[in-house]
Structure 1
Amino acid sequence: MLNRKYAMVTIPGDIKISHFSETVQTNTVNWAQEFNLSPFYKPLKWYDRALFGVQAAREYPFASLEHITLAGELLTWLFTVDDSCDRGSEDKALATEMTDQLDVFISILERKPYGGNGRLELALANIAKKLQIICHDRPFLYRQFCIHMKDYLTECKLEIKMQLHRHQMSIEDYYRERPFTGFCIMYPLVAMFAGLRIPERVYMHPVVKKIELEISLLGCLSNDLHSIRREAELEEGGFNLILIAKRELNLTLDDAIDFVADEHTRHLEEFEIARTFLPDFGDHINSQLAKYIAGVYQIVRGYDDWAVLDTERYR
């Protein structure tokens, strides 16, 4: 459904939220203060109003308080980094510094020693340690998390480069690069939190990867619609398909919004089709895989509800 006033779209599904949401929100803001993300990167009011803890409670509605709090910390970290990367539209020197910092984040994920006192660096190391503990007996899940994180950070570097050099992305560039910009980072947490024991070969099956890709694109396209007002105000546009299509296809803003809403509908259909091609892995694995796919889908549905109903970030 498209609301022209706010350019919002959601995927089908019931609204869900953990009964721990208020506690998680408090824990998440406290964590941002503990690692001095607030007030160094953003004022406390920004973290309060963003409601990243509530977002985590919507994305993992059936997880434990400890696990949802960890998801809230990760979302807080990701959005702090995301907004810092947007500085490339305003301050070229800060953008260059951020590029160097992204390389440090990648080295932390590669388990290289970090001896500094950087706020985001220490916060990332804290998150990584907690995730390693949760899935110590399922190392594949942590490796997948790190792969997705490094892909995301590499895309952040690309976006900063675009801003610095005024490079304009094409629709083809968008579909090649955009799926790596965030949502898939959260997928391994579904299996970590639910204690799923799905074989690596199943996670890596082409149909499962296709389902993950389509869900990621649904999240990316809905994010483009939610954030268009905010991103249209940046000096240099980034990975927003509305702005890319408007320029490349010579569309009005309303027509570009319709184009992206139609793309969202198309990929929702692709997701449903992909599900019909899932092989039979046996009853036990099929049951766990169904929980995993439902959890991955809930991440985007939960994001949609947070973006539409909760946060002031996109208003």
Structure 2
Amino acid sequence: MIVPPLFSPLSPAIHPRYAEVDSRTALWAEAHRIGSDELRRRLVRHEIGSFAARVMPYGREEVVQLMADFVLWLFGVDDGCCEEGDLGCRPGDLTETLHRLLRVAQNPEAPVLPGDPLAEGLRDLRARVDRYATDGQAARWVGHLREYFFSVVWEASYRSTGTVPSLTDYTLMRLYDGATTVVFPLLEMAHGYELQAGERDRRDVRAAEEMASFVITWDNDILSDHKERSGDGFFLNVLRVLEADGLGRREAMATAIAQRDRVLVAFSRLTDHLTATGSPQLRQYMAGLRSFVRGSQDWGISSVRYTTPEDPAGLPASFTGTPTDDSPDPLGIEAVAWWWDEVPPAASPVARRGARRTRRGSLVGTA
């Protein structure tokens, strides 16, 4: 099925050292033997370094590199253990493995999984996190890794039975099993600042984070649908969830796009508000979230992971500035309806015209 151009009001950018980052990530994967030989060959073709470079276009190169290596490691877990490995259909056994990996992340000196490629790769990643993170950022990184592990076990329970969750349950699972939250501390680390607890714990900031996760994962589901349907194994994405609710394939695609458009409109409005009213650190964090969303979009339509040139996926080559759904009302997903309590109302057309006149008057007055 052809995917139409998706709405994005966000500006693209990429770190100038993206090619070098990508080359080093390929070397890192080989040095740590991440995944099987065949999986590793596939992963290094996906230009994961350019993904990190799009997410952190102005970040410290060492942290961009850390993110690229970490994302490849995450694919090693997700593809190798969950989606394509036997553990992905055995939630109990998967829990054991992931719990041991979590201990490696918490205490890399612990003699857990010695010699295991994923564990040794994680030890290297944790050492580099400690190099560039504050204690609080490192703790949040481990905490978000726990969220990711917990959610992929939930996903494995559906894979083990070949069932499909409700839209609400899928949304809750997808906010974490896409590993988006694990990237959030890296956005700070890449620019050398730390959000204060008083801002980090605010509901509106958490709403902005969750909206970013929603858009990134819905985009991933839309853009990876062709690849997943072409495979032999169990797949689970929002299109399949909507189809299980009775929608046809085209209607499911249109509905998923409308959902992500509505959330992206709200996300843009909320991050604009937080940028205008927040501290310098919060403004930087909002810029990081926006780059994360747009970087994921640009990589999603360009990486061979999703374009699958041997069996073209029919993905768009560009984005549109017009959403298919810009309603200010919450989605019909109860678990996330609270987001819209934090979104400032859109200015009326009359107010916008008045603001434009005021700005023009100010310019004339200072001439």
TM superposition score normalised by structure 1: 0.88
Residues in 1 aligned to 2:26 and 2:244: alpha-carbon distance in whole angstroms: 39
Q: CA deviation at 1:307?
A: 1.2
| Residue 286 (1) aligns with residue 282 (2) | no
| Residue 305 (1) aligns with residue 286 (2) | no
Corresponding position of 1:166: 162
Report matched runs for 1:30-49 at 5 Å: 30-37=27-34, 39-40=36-37, 42-44=39-41, 46-49=42-45
Percent identity of paired positions between Structure 1 and Structure 2:
20
Q: Once the two structures are superposed, what CA deviation does each residue of 1:165-212 show, in whole Å capped at 9, x if it has no partner? A: 223211010122211121121111111110113211211111100111
Residues in 2 aligned to 1:8 and 1:184: alpha-carbon distance in whole angstroms: 26
- For the pair shown, the structure with the greater C-alpha radius of gyration is 2
Corresponding position of 1:203: 200
Paired amino acid for 2:153: K
Corresponding position of 1:264: 260
Contact (CA 8 Å) 1:242, 1:256: kept in 2 or not? Answer: yes
Residue 20 of structure 2 aligns to a residue whose secondary structure is helix
Paired amino acid for 1:146: V
Q: CA deviation at 1:17?
A: 0.9
Residues in 2 aligned to 1:270 and 1:19: alpha-carbon distance in whole angstroms: 31
Cα gap change, 1:106 to 1:200, in 2 (>3 Å): same
TM superposition score normalised by structure 2: 0.76
Q: Once the two structures are superposed, what CA deviation does each residue of 1:204-259 show, in whole Å capped at 9, x if it has no partner? A: 11110011111110101111101111222453232x111100111x1111110000
Corresponding position of 1:125: 123
Report matched runs for 1:18-37 at 5 Å: 18-37=15-34
Residue 13 of structure 1 aligns to a residue whose secondary structure is coil
Q: CA deviation at 1:279?
A: 9.7
Report matched runs for 1:58-137 at 5 Å: 58-84=54-80, 85-87=82-84, 98-111=94-107, 113-115=110-112, 116-135=114-133
Corresponding position of 2:141: 145
Corresponding position of 1:5: 2
Cα gap change, 1:11 to 1:95, in 2 (>3 Å): same
Paired amino acid for 1:26: S
Cα gap change, 1:7 to 1:126, in 2 (>3 Å): farther
Residues in 2 aligned to 1:121 and 1:41: alpha-carbon distance in whole angstroms: 19
Contact (CA 8 Å) 1:59, 1:301: kept in 2 or not? Answer: yes
Coordinate RMSD, CA, aligned:
2.4
Residue 56 of structure 1 aligns to a residue whose secondary structure is helix
Residues in 1 aligned to 2:43 and 2:135: alpha-carbon distance in whole angstroms: 32
Corresponding position of 1:214: 211
Equivalent residue pairs, number: 303
Report matched runs for 1:248-263 at 5 Å: 248=245, 250-263=246-259
Residues in 2 aligned to 1:242 and 1:29: alpha-carbon distance in whole angstroms: 32
Residues in 1 aligned to 2:127 and 2:100: alpha-carbon distance in whole angstroms: 16
Residues in 2 aligned to 1:148 and 1:7: alpha-carbon distance in whole angstroms: 33
Residues in 2 aligned to 1:185 and 1:235: alpha-carbon distance in whole angstroms: 26
| Residue 243 (1) aligns with residue 236 (2) | no
- Unmatched runs of 5 consecutive residues or more in structure 1: none
Contact (CA 8 Å) 1:99, 1:160: kept in 2 or not? Answer: no
Q: CA deviation at 1:311?
A: 3.1
Q: CA deviation at 1:163?
A: 0.9
Residue 16 of structure 1 aligns to a residue whose secondary structure is coil
Residues in 1 aligned to 2:130 and 2:223: alpha-carbon distance in whole angstroms: 33
Contact (CA 8 Å) 1:242, 1:253: kept in 2 or not? Answer: yes
